[in-house]
Each structure stands twice: as C-alpha cells, then as structure tokens.
Amino acid sequence: MKSVMETIIQNAKDPAAIKAAGDIIKKGGLVAFPTETVYGLGADALNPMAAKKIYAAKGRPSDNPLIIHICDRQALSEIAKDVPETAEVLMDAFWPGPLTMIFRKSERVPYETTGGLDTVAVRMPEDPSARAFIAASGGFIAAPSANTSGRPSPTTARHVAEDLSGKIDMILDGGPVSIGVESTILDMSVSPPMILRPGAVTKEMLTRKIGEVSEDASLKGGREAKQAKAPGMKYRHYAPKAPLTLVEGNEEDVIEKINALVKKETALGKKVGIISTEETFERYPAGDKKSIGTRLNESTIAQNLYRILREFDEDGVDEIYSEFFDGEGMASAIRNRLLKAAGQQVIHV
Ligand code: TXA
Ligand code: MG
C-alpha cells in the first residue's frame, strides 16, 4: 500500500526552504536535514511533545536519548552545566564538526529529549545547511539519524524518504553527506572522558588535545564486551535485512573463505552479497559483490558503508559476507558499525 501523502523534499540550499523548515520546527513539527555525518530527523529540543514525535516516526524506544544540535557556542550554556575546561579545548579544535559531547543537563532540557537522563548530548555540525536550519528553528534541534530504528543510517535524502516519507513534515535535500558515519560521542561527565561511540574525530585526535581518554568496554567487542553506556548502542543497529557476517583474518585466507561460502550458499539457491574493497574486488568471481572503498583511504569506506547496506536490501540478497577492518582511527568507527550491523557475527580464519 502506498503512503497517504509523500513528504515534500526541498533544496537545503534554498533560503526560502530553510525558513519554511524553521517554521515547521517552531510549530512542533519534524524536518529531516543533512549534516556532514548522516541525515538527522530534527525537532525542537526544548519541546517535549516534539521529541515524542521523533520516537513515534522512527519507531525508536523512548529510553534512547537524543543529541541536541546547536549552531553557536553561546547556546551550550543554556542547556549544559559544569562544562569542564577540557571540553572548551575540544570545542576549539573540533567544533563545528563530527564530535558530540555529553554534559550534565540544565533545567531547560526536557527529560523527553534525554530519555530520562540527567545528562545531555550536544553537537555543533559543520554542514552550512544544517547550521542555517538550526538557526532558523530557534537554535536547539534534537536529532537522531533520520532512519527507521534499526535500519542503516541515511546518507542521502532518498534514504530518508525510503524510511520516513509520509511520516514527517519536510525533507531538506543537501546531496550525499561527506563523512557517512555518525559523530564520535565523548562523555565529558566522567573522568577521564569516555568514548561511547567512535567516529571521524578519532581517539588519537582527542588524546593529542586533552591527554587520557577511555573507551566504553562494549567497544572492545568479543568476550570483553560489556553493556554499552550510550543507551542507543545496545540495540541491533544499522542492519541490512539479510544476515551479515564479517570474515576476519589475513587477506588471502579471507578471500578464500568468502569465495567458499559464496559457492556453497549459491549451490543452495541463495543470493549472496559480498562487501569487498577496491584492492580485492576482482578476486571474487561470483556473488553480488560491491566495493566499499579503498583501504588506502578509509574515509571512502565510511562514505559508502550505509549506502551499500541499503543496496543489498534492494537487491534482495539472502546472506552477506564482508571483509574485516582492523586498526585504529577511522577503521575503529567502520568496524563498530559493521559489527553492529552483523549482530557481532564474526568468522575468524
Ligand atoms: O552524527 C550524528 O551524531 C547524527 C547526526 C544526525 O547528528 N546523530 C545521531 O543520533 O547519530 P542518534 O540518535 O542516531 O544517536 C545518538 C546516540 C545514541 O546511541 C544515544 O543513546 C546516545 O547518542 N546518547 C544521546 N544522549 C546521550 C546521553 N545523555 N548519554 C549517553 N548516550 C547518549
Ligand atoms: Mg541512529
């Protein structure tokens, strides 16, 4: 069945569209908008009813707190308390940009926005359309990624429409995003600060500015994994419809294993997806193979990740096998998202 009314898609660079989007937010409505990480689903962060609408549109559990997006540093003092000096250093270095920081919340922030927590997550995006939209909306936009809960995050306006058309008031189209994975989340309410979700602002970049930074134990994966501290990280997430399995080991063994699995599954009549890289694409003779980017520049892998997971849904594959991504920096964010999408399923060869 088709949705009753499709949501209108407007050009994010059009000032009239930004003005209209701001008016929708002020009236308590929902607008999807581009940021440099992924598209967000925005509502007025200080309006409890608007935050509730976000949960309904996404089908998101209401104990999962939202990030408040601001466009100037002055706004921070209105929503956060006890902001440490180290946070100022990080703002100087990484705001605007893909870094979200968690502080104690002020009374102005409703518990509907923070999922009942006394802390608040704050981010200042760099994307000019995002900033114009936040300003036009009154300065405080609560926004999760603009996908249906559990699906891969949207990196284009079309992805947003696939999930939310008919359920929200407007989509601002700013073209494909530049980073492709969500912001780094750093909890500044603990000492030393703790990374709850890895992103483009890497642990190494943070450490260089403020010294010791810890990592949520759930990020280690495998047997050491503990319950995640960011409520949102505990759900199966970013997931394609078909089961995804990561294959970890040295390159030759991984290629051999994936090819063997593809051969076996294909013989059973299954359609099998493969996530390869520029370096290995030609080494897979069969299967629905896609290159996720080049290992020489991991930013390209982050850019393509969610789009490729959605493409496998469209292709209707029954199984997906992916190469593994070791290492620190951006690889840590890529590995984290793929492990979530795979429900932690890894074959070691
Ligand atoms: O890049 C991004 O951060 C994107 C764009 C739209 O800005 N937003 C995004 O939001 O990824 P969302 O809702 O998909 O993910 C926010 C994560 C969730 O895992 C949530 O649990 C966590 O941040 N979070 C939010 N507030 C928190 C808090 N006070 N304490 C701990 N975790 C928090
Ligand atoms: Mg999300």
Q: List, run by run, the mean pLDDT of 10-residue segments along the chain (349 residues).
A: 77 98 98 98 97 92 92 97 97 98 98 96 98 98 95 97 97 98 97 97 98 87 54 69 96 98 97 98 98 98 97 97 96 95 94
User: What pLDDT shows up at residue 219?
Assistant: 75
* 244 neighbors 345 (Cβ within 8 angstroms): yes
Task: Determine the distance from the C-alpha atom of residue 138 to the mean position of all C-alpha atoms in its chain, rounded to a whole number.
Answer: 24
* 318 neighbors 273 (Cβ within 8 angstroms): no
Q: Is 113 in the pocket of ligand 1 (CB under 6 A)?
A: no
Which residues touch 20 (CB under 8 Å, ≥6 apart)?
10, 170
Q: Is 144 in the pocket of ligand 1 (CB under 6 A)?
A: yes
Q: What is the pTM of this model?
A: 0.95
Measured between alpha carbons, how far is 206 from 89 in angstroms, rounded to an integer?
Answer: 10
Long-range CB contacts (< 8 A, 24+ apart) of 310-314?
310/151, 310/152, 310/159, 310/162, 310/240, 312/240, 312/241, 312/242, 312/273, 312/288, 313/240, 313/241, 313/242
User: What pLDDT shows up at residue 290?
Assistant: 98
Tokens of residue 78, six digits: 């209105």
DSSP state of 46: T
* 219 neighbors 311 (Cβ within 8 angstroms): no
Q: Is 177 in the pocket of ligand 1 (CB under 6 A)?
A: no
Q: Is 64 in the pocket of ligand 1 (CB under 6 A)?
A: yes
Measured between alpha carbons, how far is 297 from 179 in angstroms, rounded to an integer?
Answer: 12
User: What pLDDT shows up at residue 240?
Assistant: 87
Angle between helices 157-164 and 298-315 (to 10 degrees): 40
Angle at CA of residue 122, ends 132 and 118, nearest 5°: 140
Mutation test of ligand 1: which of 58, 100, 104, 216 has the most ligand atoms closer than 8 Å to its C-beta?
A: 100
Half-sphere CA count of 199, side-chain side, radius 13 A = 22
